[in-house]
A and B are shown apart, each in its own frame.
Chain A
Amino acid sequence: MPVEIPKDKWTGKVREVSFGATAADGGTRSKSIVVGGDTTLPYMQFEAPTPHTPVIAVEIKSRRPEDWSTLLEETWGDAMNDPASWAKAAEAAGADALVLWLTLADTPEDAVKATKAVLAASALPLMVFGPGQVEKDNELLVAVSEAAKGEKLVLGICEDKNYRTIVATAMANGHLVSARTPMDVNLAKQLNILITDMGLPANRIIMDPTTGALGYGIEYGYSVMERLRLASLQGDGMTQFPMMVTVGFEAWKAKESKVGTGVPEAWGDWKARAIHWETLTTTALLESGASIVVLRHPESMKRIRAAINELMAA
Chain B
Amino acid sequence: MNHTITFTTSDGKTVTASALTGTLVSDAAQQAGIEITQPCGGQGRCGRCAIQITGGNVRRRSTLRLSQEAVEQGYALACQSVIEGDASILVPEQEKIERNLTTDRVAAEVSVPSGYDINWSQTVRRVNVRMNEPSMDDQTDDWARLQTALRVQHKLETVEASISLLRRLGQVLRDGNWEVNVIYELKNLDNHSAAHIIDVRPSICDEDEPIYAAAIDIGTTTVSLWLVDLVTGQVKAQVAEYNDQIVRGEDVISRIIYASKHGGSDDLQHRVVGTINKLGETACKRLKTRPDQIVKAIIAGNSTMIHLLLGIPAASIRLAPFITAVNHPPLMAAREMGLHFCPDAVVDCLPGVASYVGADITAGVLSNGMDDTDEITLFIDVGTNGEIVLGNRDWLMTCACSAGPAFEGAGVKDGMRATTGAIEEVWINGDTYEPSIRVIGGSKPRGVCGSGLISLIAEMFLTGILDKAGNVNLSLPTKRVRATDQGGEYVIAWADETSHGHDIAITRVDVDNLLRAKAAIYAGFTILAEQVGMTLADVETMVIGGSFGKYVNVEKAMQIGLLPDMPWDKFKFLGNTSVKGAYFALVDTRQRERISEIASRMTYLELSADNTFYDAFTSALFLPHTDMDKFPTVAEALLSKEKR
Contact status B619-A164, CB under 8 Å: no
Are B473 and A164 in contact, CB atoms less than 8 angstroms apart?
yes
Report Cα–Cα, A164/B471, bound state, in Å: 10
Q: B471 near A160 (CB under 8 angstroms)?
A: yes
* Cα separation A190 to B626 with both chains bound (whole Å): 6
A272 within 8 A of B: no
Complex contacts, B628 vs chain A, CB 8 Å: 193
Could you say which of B473, B487, B626 contacts A161, with CB atoms under 8 Å apart?
Answer: B487
Q: Would A184 and B618 count as touching, CB distance under 8 A?
A: yes
- Residues on A with beta carbons closer than 8 Å to the beta carbon of B487: 161
Do residues A193 and B471 form an inter-chain contact, with CB atoms below 8 A? Answer: no
- Provide the bound-state CA to CA distance between A193 and B627, in Å: 10
Identity of the chain B residue whose Cβ is nearest the Cβ of A187 in the assembled complex: B618
B467 at the interface (CB under 8 A from A): yes
Q: Report the separation of the CA atoms of residues A191 and B469 in the bound assembly, to the nearest whole angstrom.
A: 8
In the complex, whether B468 has a CB less than 8 A from a CB of chain A is: yes
Task: Determine the distance from Cα of A238 to Cα of B473 in the docked complex, in whole angstroms.
Answer: 22
Interface bits B580-622 vs A (CB < 8 Å: 1, else 0): 0000000000000000000000000000000000010011011
At the interface, is chain A mostly helix, strand, loop or mixed?
helix
Which of B618, B621, B626 makes the CB contact (< 8 A) with A193? B626
The docked-state distance in angstroms from the alpha carbon of A193 to that of B626 is 8
Assembly CA distance A197 to B473 (angstroms): 13
Complex: chain A residue closest to B473, CB-CB:
A164
Residue among A161, A187, A189 making CB contact with B471, cutoff 8 Å: A161
Instruction: Give the contacting residue for A186; candidates B467, B473, B475, B619; CB below 8 A.
Output: B619
The interface bits of chain A over 207-249 (1 if a CB of B lies within 8 angstroms of the residue's CB, else 0) are 0000000000000000000000000000000100000000000
Contacts of A185 in B (CB 8 A): 615
Q: Does A280 contact B (CB under 8 A)?
A: no
Interface of B is mostly: loop
Proximity bits, A180-200, B CB within 8 Å = 1, else 0:
000011110111011001000
When distances are taken between beta carbons in the complex, the residues of chain B under 8 Å from A197 are 467-468
What residues of B have a CB within 8 angstroms of the CB of A160 in the complex?
A: 469, 471
Q: How many A-B residue pairs have CB under 8 A?
A: 34
The complex places the Cα of A185 from the Cα of B618 at a distance, in Å, of: 9
Which residues from chain B contact A184 at a C-beta distance below 8 Å? Answer: 618
B621 to chain A: which residues have CB within 8 Å?
Answer: 186, 190
Please give, as numbers and ranges, the residues of chain A lying within 8 Å of B475 by CB-CB distance: 164
Do B468 and A186 touch (CB < 8 A)? no
Which B residue sits closest to A236, measured CB to CB? B627
Check B471 against A186 for contact (C-beta < 8 Å): no
CB nearest neighbor in B for A161: B471
Contact with A along B135-150 (1 / 0, CB 8 A): 0000000000000000
| Contact A194:B618 (CB < 8 A) given known A164-B475, A186-B626, A189-B626 | no
**B469 and A190: CB pair below 8 A?**
yes
Cα separation A186 to B618 with both chains bound (whole Å): 6
In the bound assembly, the distance between CA atoms of A250 and B43 in angstroms comes to 42
List residues of chain B with CB within 8 A of the CB of A189. 626
Which residues of A pack against B, CB within 8 Å? 160-161, 164, 184-187, 189-191, 193-194, 197, 238
B contacts, CB < 8 Å to A: 467-469, 471, 473, 475, 487, 615, 618-619, 621-622, 626, 628
26 contacts between A and B (CB under 8 A): A160-B469, A160-B471, A161-B469, A164-B473, A164-B475, A184-B618, A185-B615, A186-B618, A186-B619, A186-B621, A186-B626, A187-B618, A189-B626, A190-B468, A190-B469, A190-B621, A190-B622, A193-B468, A193-B622, A193-B626, A194-B467, A194-B468, A194-B469, A197-B467, A197-B468, A238-B626
Closest 8 CB pairs of A and B: A186-B618, A186-B619, A160-B469, A190-B622, A186-B626, A189-B626, A190-B626, A194-B467
18 extra interchain contacts, Cβ-Cβ under 8 A, other than A164-B471, A186-B619, A187-B618?
A: A160-B469, A161-B469, A161-B487, A164-B475, A184-B618, A186-B615, A186-B622, A190-B468, A190-B469, A190-B626, A191-B469, A193-B468, A193-B622, A193-B626, A194-B467, A194-B469, A197-B467, A197-B468
